[in-house]
Every structure is written in C-alpha cells, then in structure tokens.
Chain A
Amino acid sequence: MTRLGDAVFIFVLSGTALAQGGRGILAHNPANDNKPYDKHDLSGIWTRNGSPGGYGGGGTCRDCGDRGYAAKVPPMTPLGKKMFDANKPSYGRLLGSPDAAAHPEEDIGRRRAVPPASDSDPYQHCNPMGPTRALAYVDPMEMNVLPDRIIQQFEWGWGTRILWTDGRPALMDPDLPRWWGYSTGHWDGDTFVVTTTGVDERTWVDQYGYPHSADMVLEERYKRTAYDVLEVTMTINDPKIYTAPWAGDLKKFRKLDKNTIKSIDGWAGMLEDACAPADEVDLFNKRVRDPAGGVIH
C-alpha cells in the first residue's frame, strides 16, 4: 500500500471510530426485516461486535451499549467505595491524564486506568469474567436452548453458564459462590427474565472495576425484538455495595448465521477463544505486558 493509501486507511479507521464510537452492533440487514421468528426462541449466535464475523476489536457502540455495564453509577456504600478503590482497572482513560481530566462528565471509574502491569484485573490472568462483564463484552455469545435449561456460551474466554428453566426457585444465599453464579429463568410475557445469585465477588461488574458482593442479585431481561435483534437489560441489586438498584445500559445483540464464523479450515461455529493455557498467559504478562508497564521480572 502506498503512503497515501496508508493515510487513507488510518483516516477511515479513525473516522469510523469517532463516528460510531468504535465498531458496534452489526449493520441492519433489510433482508431480515420480514423473516418470521418466535419471540420465545432465543437460540443461536448473537453478537454486539460490528465487524462482519462478529469477532474481536470493537469498543463502544452508542446505540447498543458500550463495553461498560452502565455510564451512570449509583452512590456506593462505604464498603462499596473501599472495594471500588481497591480495584485497579487498565481500561478507560488513563489515570491522571489530560484526557481523563477533559471528561469530567464521565464517572471516575472510566477515568482511572493504569497499565496492565500494575492493575488488579482478574481477567488479566484470564480468570472467568462473570455474567455482567461477559454480557457487556462485544464478542459472540451462543444461546443453546434445551427443554429445561439454556446454556449460554461466550466466545471470548470460552465461558459457559447455565440458565435453568425447570421451575426451580432462585438460590438465595448459596453456600459456595461461583464465578458464573446460580441462574434461573422464566418467561414474563415476551421477556425472558433471569435471576442470578451467588456470583463470586472476585469478578468485576465490568472492565472498569466496579465491585459487587456475593450477595448481589442480578436480574437480566432478554427480549427478541426482531428476527435478528436481541435486547438485554440488567439490574443489580446489591445493598452491601450500592445504595440503590443499579440499572445497566441496554445491550443490543445482532443474530449471526452459524456459517458467519469459520475456522481457517472452514469449520463453522463459534471459535474456541479460550485464554489458555495459564502458564503461557503468565509468560505473556511477564515478557510483554509487565515490561510495557515498567515492571521487569
């Protein structure tokens, strides 16, 4: 590519990023407008990523929710503030930078990034993201609907959770919190409502390090509004951490045909995008990420 070509390429990228706030939900396809669909069928691969294969990259999307849980945050309790301050994210605007100072309208959680070398992000070591953070992420998610449960599979991190639909009540105060918690779901009209409890408090609400306790009760509401559109809203009820229920921003997903994503060999379906093995991840951190942040091993 010529230098001019390079410049145009970068300009297009920059313009796209600025116009869209990054690549967001896939563009509307008019061919899907009149396709019949069952509002109670959530099966399939869904993505919030705007690139054609629904893979990687992305960032923010103004009309489908960005990679954070919500732009507005309710006041925290003293314990919540303590946990918030202890969490050191590497996402968002750089702590103490002119860029961070130039955006006082944003919550401080989005303006306190430190290099990954000195963050405390559990995902820096590829630990499970937990439900809120995974749903806020942009890569594909597959809903596998069985008679008594929905298996929700996230491509990035290859995380799996089970939403039980067999009529069992939500499990309050479980003995052992889990990375993905305990989830039950039922239909309320055309909305699929999921209640999740017992999420390990080592997970973050989102990449900006907002905390939650193991007593958090998370409500997710899934609504299929078109053949290829799934809308998800979440509400956190966690009085130990937040002084009021915390409603998340709307997350909009676009449906992908299973043949949209393929391996090099043409193997269709979601990729096994596991962040593994752990020792190689550690090696990457020690050889690249940590030195980039000035930490030499």
Chain B
Amino acid sequence: MRTKYSVLCVGLLAAAIPAVAHHGTGASYDLSHPVTMQGIVTEFHYANPHPQLFFDVTDDKGEVTHWSGEFYPNPAQLIQDGWGRKRSEAALAPGTKITVTVAPARAGTKVGAITKLVNEKNEVLLGVGGGGPGAVPQGGPPPAPAPEPGK
C-alpha cells in the first residue's frame, strides 16, 4: 500500500512540476524524489524570501546529519492562512521532534524544499501538508476556482 501510495503521489507531483516552477526553486530541488525523515529542530527563521528550518537527523548507527530546508510559502502566505510569526516559532521551537518530507537538492547536499511537516502528534505545521510550490497552506481558505474566460 505504501509503495502504491508513494508512486501515486510522486507521479502526481511530477505532473504538476512544469506548471508550478516557482521562485527559482524548481532548478535546485527534485520534487520527483521526495525524502521523508524524522528529526529534531535546531533553528527556525520566519523570514523573507522564504522561512528556513534547520534540523538534525539521527540514523540507525547514531550518526547525526544536519539538514537545512526552505518553505515554499513565504510569511505573507503563511499569515493569510493563520500561521503568524509567534505561532510558527512556537510550533518549531528548538528541540521539537518532527517528521519532514523534502524535495532534496539535485546537487546531493543536505538541503531540501519542505513539502510536508508534522509534529509528534501528527499535526501539520505551517500548513505544509503535502503540496509543492504554489500550494495553498492547509488550514486556510481553499484555492480559488478556475477563472471564467472573458472576465
């Protein structure tokens, strides 16, 4: 089931990539090969042009790898969906345990664009619940319907 689900999601995301290349990030990150990790927050910056998250991931051998991630929505988007600075910083205080999915850097470095982020309670943080660039953060208003031609 997990495999089928992953293939479905990857396929759908890949289909959307050409339409949503955004903020130049499409050239750096590979949305077609998402990586999911469990980690601990070390730093979070609620800032333009995009908020940034830094976290440590410990493998089975106890080795710690430091990762950096950027969010697709910027503070203006997050605010409209109820994720202001205070709420966001409280949700991502240093030491917070997270499960994070990223589109990894094509360069192979430990950097990614964050596409999904949940805490220990499986609560979606900053509205990043699985969407790629241009996605409306969860918890806010839904996307607008398609425009009417001629208006």
Q: Which residues of A contact B92 (CB under 8 A)?
A: none
A60, A89, A229, A274: which has the most chain B beta carbons within 10 Å? Answer: A60
Q: Are B48 and A17 in contact (CB under 8 A)?
A: no
A71 interface hit (Cβ, 8 Å): no
Q: Are B24 and A292 in contact (CB under 8 A)?
A: no
Secondary structure call for the A interface: loop
Q: Which residues of B contact A230 (CB under 8 A)?
A: none
Q: Are B28 and A27 in contact (CB under 8 A)?
A: no
Q: Are B79 and A1 in contact (CB under 8 A)?
A: no
The interface size bin for chain B is 35 or more
Q: Are B130 and A6 in contact (CB under 8 A)?
A: yes
The interface size bin for chain A is 35 or more
Q: Are A7 and B111 in contact (CB under 8 A)?
A: no
Report the minimal beta-carbon distance from A192 to chain B, rounded to whole angstroms.
Answer: 20
Q: Are B15 and A7 in contact (CB under 8 A)?
A: no
A40 interface hit (Cβ, 8 Å): no
Near A by CB (< 8 A), chain B positions 87-120 give 87, 105-113, 116
CA of A264 to CA of B76 in the docked complex: distance in angstroms? 10
* 14 pairs, A vs B, C-beta closer than 8 Å: A10-B9, A27-B147, A56-B74, A57-B133, A59-B21, A113-B27, A119-B24, A262-B80, A264-B84, A273-B75, A291-B68, A294-B107, A294-B108, A296-B109
Interface residues, chain B, CB within 8 Å of chain A? 1, 5, 8-9, 12-13, 15-29, 45, 47-50, 52, 54, 68-70, 72-77, 79-80, 82, 84-87, 105-113, 116, 124, 129-136, 138, 141-151
